[in-house]
């Protein structure tokens, strides 16, 4: 397998390192259609690129949170994933019926139309690219989970509109400035991301939707904190800083200008390498179920988490699932301690809560105080018992 799958990380590094010097004269201006800046054209930011690739490879990682100031390329990087997204099987039906529903729950598990298709041996699904959905910052809860279809309601028919979460099923959902969203919206997104489904109640209507999406959030900590319980629900966490070396900054500037002048040309520059990586990614994704952790890798991960005093079990899930993805991206069937070490900072940082540590140490203090008090009460009562016997002897 190591011969057939090239190391994804190597491919990315090689393609990104290609110097980009040309800045052709503007010609193709006034483009209306959005063309994403090529992923491979992003300078530096290895950890961010790796985290995004791993999240695409393995949905069990639990998504990525990009933390950093403005202007560090977080949104550009997420949008640039469009060209790397793999293919998935998607339902042809608005209810999202899938053949595995019939296999596990029988014909009643799908809508009548799909039951008929299935009975005739017609496909319920088609192959489609994973897509990138962006949550608009001004979204309301009903946009996110779905609402009653006003147009259908005019014709006395009650129907629900699918929300953003249902439309993001089997896709990528990008939530920029996640720390600025209302709590109820963040909770709805995180619950759906964790469960892969969600249920909406609107008046007399109830509907359950599939929502198996890969969540990518970004935030600028200068503009507001994220509740610790929300932070914990993201798999990988990347601190995105500005480029440090002058050379890299200059290169990033050149590529940005070249792209502004002629996006198609820049995209063309990277098209071949991008397609190669997309295919490798697809292949790696299909092979992921075969990848196993070695005993040593498990031991390394558990020791790390224990010594750091991380409570959340999500730390292990992300750590081990990301290590498996890192191994398959490197063309190996087994994830070893090296894979664990490579992705550990992204999986574990920001999981320890100062509040919980303070809380636990204050609880421990209190426990000690209570047991000290109990001890002294016991002593006092036994002291009282013995003088009682003594007084008797005194009276005698």
Q: Are strands 236-239 and 64-67 parallel, antiparallel or unpaired?
A: parallel
Spatial separation of the C-alpha atoms in residues 286 and 11, rounded to whole Å: 19
Cβ proximity to Zn ion, 93 vs 205, nearer residue: 93
- The residue whose two tokens read 């090239």 is 6
Q: How far is the CB of 113 from Zn ion (least distance, A)?
A: 5
- Rank residues 57 and 166 by Cβ distance to Zn ion and give the closer one: 166
Minimum distance between the CB of residue 323 and Zn ion, rounded to whole angstroms? 38
- For residues 263 and 30, give the distance between their C-alpha atoms in angstroms, rounded to a whole number: 11
* CB distance 325 to 206 below 8 Å: no
Q: Is 393 exposed, middle or buried (0-12, 13-18, 19+ CB in 10 A)?
A: exposed
Tell me the per-residue interface mask from 208 to 237 with Zn ion, x by CB under 5 A, - otherwise: ------------------------------
Q: How far is the CB of 210 from Zn ion (least distance, A)?
A: 12
95 or 194, CB closer to Zn ion?
Answer: 95
Asked if 207 interacts with Zn ion (CB under 5 A), we say: no
Considering only 12, 66, 97, 266, the residue that binds Zn ion (CB under 5 A) is 97
- For residues 347 and 319, is the Cβ–Cβ distance under 8 A? yes
User: What token pair was written down for 263?
Assistant: 């996006």
For Zn ion, the binding residues in 35-94 under the rule CB under 5 A are 93
By C-beta, is 47 or 169 nearer to Zn ion? Answer: 169
Binding mask 100-119 for Zn ion (x = CB under 5 A): -----------x--x-----
- Report how far residue 78's alpha carbon sits from residue 217's, in angstroms, rounded to the nearest whole number: 9
Report the nearest approach of Zn ion to the CB of residue 117 (Å): 8
Instruction: Verify whether residue 314 is a known catalytic residue.
Output: yes
**Torsions phi, psi for 116 (to 5 deg):** -65, -45
- Dig out the tokens for 59 from the structure: 């949905």
Give the integer Cα–Cα distance in Å for 35 and 389: 94
> Of 314, 334, 341, 352, which residue is the catalytic one?
314
Complex with Zn ion: residue 97 or 288, whichever CB lies closer: 97
Among 95, 147, 239, 311, binds Zn ion (CB under 5 A): 95
**Minimum CB–partner distance for residue 103 and Zn ion (Å):** 15
Q: How far is the CB of 36 from Zn ion (least distance, A)?
A: 32
Nearer to Zn ion, 99 or 242 (CB): 99
Show the tokens assigned to 123. Answer: 């496909």
* E strand map for the chain: 64-67, 87-91, 125-129, 132-134, 146-148, 160-162, 172-175, 197-202, 205-210, 214-219, 236-239, 292-293, 334-335
Task: Give me the active site residues, please.
Answer: 314
Binding footprint of Zn ion on the chain (CB under 5 A): 93, 95, 97, 111, 114
């Amino acid at each position: 397998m190591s011969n057939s799958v090239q190391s994804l990380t190597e491919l990315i590094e090689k393609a990104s390192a290609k110097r980009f010097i040309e800045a052709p004269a503007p010609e193709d201006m006034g483009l209306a259609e959005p063309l994403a800046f090529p992923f491979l054209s992003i300078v530096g930011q290895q950890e961010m690129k790796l985290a995004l690739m791993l999240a695409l490879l393995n949905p069990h990682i639990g998504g990525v949170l990009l933390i950093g100031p403005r202007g560090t390329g977080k949104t550009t990087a997420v949008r640039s994933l469009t060209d790397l997204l793999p293919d998935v099987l998607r339902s042809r039906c608005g209810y999202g019926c899938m053949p595995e529903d019939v296999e596990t729950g029988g014909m009643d598990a799908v809508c009548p139309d799909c039951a008929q298709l299935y009975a005739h041996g017609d496909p319920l699904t088609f192959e489609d690219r994973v897509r990138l959905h962006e949550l608009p910052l001004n979204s309301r809860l009903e946009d996110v989970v779905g609402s009653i279809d006003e147009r259908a309601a005019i014709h006395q028919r009650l129907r629900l509109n699918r929300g953003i979460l249902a439309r993001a099923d089997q896709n990528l959902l990008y939530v920029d400035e996640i720390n600025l969203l209302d709590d109820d919206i963040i909770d709805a997104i995180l619950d759906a991301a964790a469960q892969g489904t969600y249920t909406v109640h609107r008046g007399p209507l109830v509907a359950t939707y599939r929502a198996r999406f890969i969540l990518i959030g970004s935030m600028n900590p200068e503009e507001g904190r994220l509740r610790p319980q929300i932070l914990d629900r993201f798999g990988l966490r990347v601190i995105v800083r500005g480029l440090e070396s002058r050379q890299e900054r200059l290169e990033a500037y050149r590529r940005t200008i070249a792209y502004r002048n002629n996006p198609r040309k820049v995209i063309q520059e990277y098209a071949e390498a991008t397609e190669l990586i997309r295919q490798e990614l697809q292949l790696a994704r299909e092979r992921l179920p075969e990848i196993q952790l070695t005993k040593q890798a498990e031991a390394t991960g558990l020791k790390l988490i224990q010594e750091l005093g991380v409570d959340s079990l999500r730390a292990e899930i992300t750590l081990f699932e990301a290590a498996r993805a890192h191994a398959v991206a490197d063309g190996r069937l087994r994830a070893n301690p090296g894979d664990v070490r490579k992705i550990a900072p992204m999986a574990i940082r920001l999981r320890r809560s100062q509040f919980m540590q303070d809380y636990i140490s204050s609880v421990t203090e209190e426990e000690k105080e209570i047991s000290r008090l109990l001890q002294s009460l016991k002593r006092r009562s036994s002291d009282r018992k013995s003088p009682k016997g003594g007084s008797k002897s005194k009276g005698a």
